[in-house]
Amino acid sequence: MSNYDDIINLPHHVSSTRKPMTLYNRASQFAPFSALTGYDDEIKETARLTDRKIELDEDSKKIINNKINFIAVNIKAKPFVNVLYFIQDNKKSGGKYIIYSGNIKIIDIENKCIIFTDKTKLFFENIYDITGDIFWKMEKI
């Protein structure tokens, strides 16, 4: 004989005043509870990798300056170039390298930036390399 023999065969009670709960609402009662809201996001952010900005040597800086000057001389052609540049991460130290491709509209020497036809600005200090067909002319000079 078990402790529940007296109630095991009783009919299931259904309230006459309350609607039965939907299966969705019943299931949500047993959903996992996160006492540390935002902790998972912090763990993911910490695990996210960033690159360290590479400092160019003087020879590399000179090559980039020569390319920028060459583009400035040929700016009327609005040359199409690929620029490898560094973007600083807003949340942690480091950042990432990205290649931006487009037609250059202005070389702004005063503000030390390249402005593309779509108004994108890339500052000289973040540029790691510039490539493009325009530099075939430069190599022949």
Query: What are the φ/ψ torsions at residue 62 (nearest 5 degrees)?
Result: -65, -40
List the Cα angle 87/98/132 in 5-degree steps: 125
Place of tokens 């070389």: 107
Give me the residues of the chain with pLDDT under 50, please: 141
Q: What is d(CA 51, CA 97) in angstroms, rounded to the nearest whole number?
A: 8
| pTM of full prediction above 0.75 | no
Q: Is 119 helix (H, G, I), strand (E, B) or coil?
A: coil
Which pLDDT belongs to residue 1?
65
What is residue 140's predicted lDDT score, i.e. its pLDDT? Answer: 56
DSSP 118: T
Grouping H, G, I as helix, E, B as strand and the rest as coil, residue 88 is strand
pLDDT of residue 27: 85
Q: Domains in the chain, ordered, with CATH?
A: 58-140 (2.30.30)
